[in-house]
Chain A
């Protein structure tokens, strides 16, 4: 199994641009989520999904959209990038539809917004 994969690894955007961060898992996990990690802030939950067709907001959802059309994929869309969205983004998944079980993380996407 490849586990949780994320693309791209690095991305530079200009303010106002939009883009989609890709996340895929091949473990048939029901639960998938997106976190951002900023220095001194730990991990903050952006959006999560307990199964295909179901998404919900986390702590810091503003400026981000998600959808879950398949069990495997959970893309994160930045609608109009802002410098405050400069961060490292992690996708995570867990087997059951619970975000409190063991989480499996992807390698991350480092995003810089100029």
Chain B
């Protein structure tokens, strides 16, 4: 079953603005990952944050993790048209013997030039 749930589902912003997406999950996790999917393409890994980390940066991306609220956010600063994509969170649940990620349903972002 899908554990990660992104919110909001769809976001439309002007180029240069910031975009924020949230992901909530139900069970304790070892790590949480964010992926991007451009239209018609495969998913591309963006960033991984471990359960003992609270914030992580990669270029224009900032990810936060609040394990007490079981939620994560992905912030894209100074968005560009090329950031138009779907963004998925994926969790590694702390389940004995688990060997799979639980993907959310995705969050579509449209950046208007």
Contacts and interface: CB of A to CB of B under 8 A. Distances in A.
B88 A42 contact: yes
Nearest to B91: A100
Contacts of B44: 105
Interface of B: 1-2, 30-31, 33, 35, 40-45, 48, 88, 90, 92, 98-101, 103-106
A43 interface: yes
A50 B99 contact: yes
A40 B45 contact: no
A37 to B, nearest CB: 9
B31 A100 contact: yes
Contacts of B1: 59
Given A103-B101, A105-B43, A108-B41, A42 B106 contact: yes
